[in-house]
């Protein structure tokens, strides 16, 4: 595929703001089978650094944890201390709603495991996409973490109808669940899990969001569904949405190892403003690039994109040498480009855990 952010290699990580970092790290490691890579505690600024670079209150401070979650994904978790923080996470139907989906071989085995976990709520029963849907045969169910973050387990058949309409293909499943940079499997927590299958975002304008992901970020549209009208019972039981209305969905391939699912809801009472990075439920999407400055020059040329300050290079700590910068988008999703230096990083002297590397990949939307 051509286009997209110059020198991009892959999606580097998904980031989420949680109310209690210790609780969230424990859940992602003990229940979901991730591995803690490093922590950065007490990140703050005496001037307007936090506002310029993170788009949060200048007096905000944050603790950060990076985790490896399976063979292809890194997860970054934030806990903010900030004046006037919104502590209520967005609902699935709110602009800024989001979830992570896990690819499993056996949804029923995964659900049985999740129902035994303290504080986890499985939403309804597993559903199967019906005949005629572009993802016919996809079996799925959502669940909530103890602090209300929405996640999903699902399995997909070997072939789906959308494949007759496009050369594009979803990523996955990965051969084995592993938190290592080799093919040695690690024992997963969710039975039969293969990989993080997708990250999903609820947006205000699905057409504009699909266009941004394809035209600006170099994604590939695989299929769209809807708008579908659903009753209040299904919305409440399966999606944790209160009310009735319509839902529309788009699935995209984004680089070598990630799928992106976009939703748009028309449900009365839905929030129309996404959470800030410092709010519980805040989030961003990060890309690994070879040349941060080339990526920034490109992003500054895109209408509606705002690069937050200038690229920063971390000079000490567990990821010294990391060069990064955030940017906001016209579709309401905060994003980041970053590059890690070649060779051993400081955190590697303290743990055998390793980040999922971004550099070895080539940006491609093909299997």
| pLDDT of res. 367 | 63
Distance CA 77, CA 176 (A): 24
- pLDDT band with cut points at 50, 70 and 90 for residue 343: confident
pLDDT reading at 49 higher than 90:
yes
| pLDDT of res. 1 | 45
Helix/strand/coil (H, E, C) string of the chain? Answer: CCCCCCCEEEEEEEEEECCCHHHHHHHHHHHCCCEEEEEEEEECCCCCHHHHHHCCCCCCEEEEEEEECCCCCEEEEEEEECCCCCCCCCCCCCCCCEEEEEEECCHHHHHHHHHCCCCCEECCCCEECCCCCCCCCCEEEEEECCCCCEEEEEECCCCCHHHHCCCCCCCCCCCCCCCCCCCCCCCCCCCCEEEEEEEEEECCCHHHHHHHHHHHCCCEEEEEEEEEEECHHHHHHHHCCCCCEEEEEEEEECCCCCEEEEEEEECCCCCCCCCCCCCCCCEEEEEEECCHHHHHHHHHCCCCCEECCCCEECCCCCCCCCEEEEEECCCCCEEEEEECCCCCCHHHHCCCCCCCCCCCCCCCCCC
pLDDT reading at 184 higher than 90:
no
Residue 98 or 242, more confident: 98
Q: Do the Cβ atoms of 135 and 251 come closer than 8 Å?
A: yes
What tokens were used for 107? 């949804």
* CA nearest neighbour of 136 among 225, 6, 17, 250: 225
Distance CA 177, CA 193 (A): 7
Mean pLDDT along residues 330-343: 95
Mean pLDDT along residues 33-47: 96
Phi, psi of 346 (to 5 degrees): -55, -40
| pLDDT of res. 186 | 87
What share of the chain has pLDDT > 70, as a percent? 99
pLDDT reading at 16 higher than 50:
yes
Mean pLDDT along residues 166-185: 91
- Interval 67-122: pLDDT, tens: 999 999 999 999 999 989 999 999 999 999 999 999 999 999 999 999 999 999 99
| pLDDT of res. 360 | 83
pLDDT reading at 219 higher than 70:
yes
Residue 366 or 53, more confident: 53
pLDDT reading at 230 higher than 90:
no
What tokens were used for 341? 């230096």
Q: Write down the residue that tokens 């029923």 correspond to.
A: 108
Pairing of strands 74-81, 8-17: parallel
Name the average pLDDT for the chain.
95
Mean pLDDT along residues 267-279: 95
Buried/exposed 103-130: b ≥16 CB within 10 Å, e otherwise: bbebbbebbebbeebeebebbeebbebe
Q: Do the Cβ atoms of 325 and 337 come closer than 8 Å?
A: yes
| pLDDT of res. 213 | 98
- Interval 303-319: pLDDT, tens: 999 999 999 999 999 99
- Interval 130-145: pLDDT, tens: 999 999 999 999 999 9
- Interval 189-201: pLDDT, tens: 999 999 999 999 9
Q: Do the Cβ atoms of 346 and 318 come closer than 8 Å?
A: yes
Q: Do the Cβ atoms of 75 and 98 come closer than 8 Å?
A: no
Mean pLDDT along residues 155-162: 96
pTM for the full model? 0.97
Pairing of strands 245-253, 150-155: unpaired
């Amino acid at each position: 595929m051509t286009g997209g952010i110059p020198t991009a290699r892959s999606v580097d990580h998904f980031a989420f703001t949680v109310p209690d970092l210790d609780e969230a790290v424990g859940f992602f490691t003990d229940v979901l089978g991730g591995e803690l890579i490093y922590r950065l505690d007490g990140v703050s600024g005496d001037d307007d650094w936090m506002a310029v670079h993170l788009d949060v209150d200048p007096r905000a401070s944050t603790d950060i944890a990076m985790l490896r979650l399976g063979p292809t994904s890194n997860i970054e978790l934030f806990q903010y201390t900030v004046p006037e923080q919104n502590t209520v996470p967005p609902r699935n139907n709110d602009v800024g709603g989001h979830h992570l989906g896990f690819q499993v071989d056996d949804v029923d085995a995964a659900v049985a495991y999740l129902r035994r976990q303290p504080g986890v709520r499985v939403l309804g029963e597993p559903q199967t996409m019906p005949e005629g849907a572009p993802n016919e045969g996809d079996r799925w169910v959502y669940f909530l973490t103890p602090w209300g973050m929405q996640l999903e387990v699902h399995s997909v058949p070997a072939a789906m109808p959308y494949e007759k309409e496009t050369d594009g293909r979803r990523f996955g499943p990965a051969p084995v669940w592993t938190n290592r940079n080799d093919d040695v499997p690690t024992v997963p927590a969710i039975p039969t899990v293969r990989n993080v299958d997708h990250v999903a975002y609820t947006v205000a304008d699905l057409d504009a969001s699909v266009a941004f992901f394809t035209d600006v970020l170099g994604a590939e549209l695989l299929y769209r569904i809807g708008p579908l009208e659903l009753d209040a019972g299904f919305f409440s039981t399966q999606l944790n949405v209160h009310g009735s209305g319509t839902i529309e969905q788009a699935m995209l391939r984004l680089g070598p190892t990630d799928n992106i699912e976009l939703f748009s809801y028309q449900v009365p009472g839905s929030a129309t403003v996404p959470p800030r990075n410092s709010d519980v439920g805040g989030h961003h999407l990060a890309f690994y690039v070879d040349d941060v400055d080339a990526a920034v020059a490109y992003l500054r040329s895109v209408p509606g994109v705002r690069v937050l300050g200038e690229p920063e290079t971390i000079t000490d700590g567990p990821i010294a040498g990391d060069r990064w910068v955030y940017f906001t988008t016209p579709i309401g999703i905060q994003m980041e480009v970053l590059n890690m230096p070649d060779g051993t990083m400081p955190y590697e002297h303290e743990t055998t855990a390793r980040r999922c590397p971004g550099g070895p990949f080539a940006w491609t939307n093909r299997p």
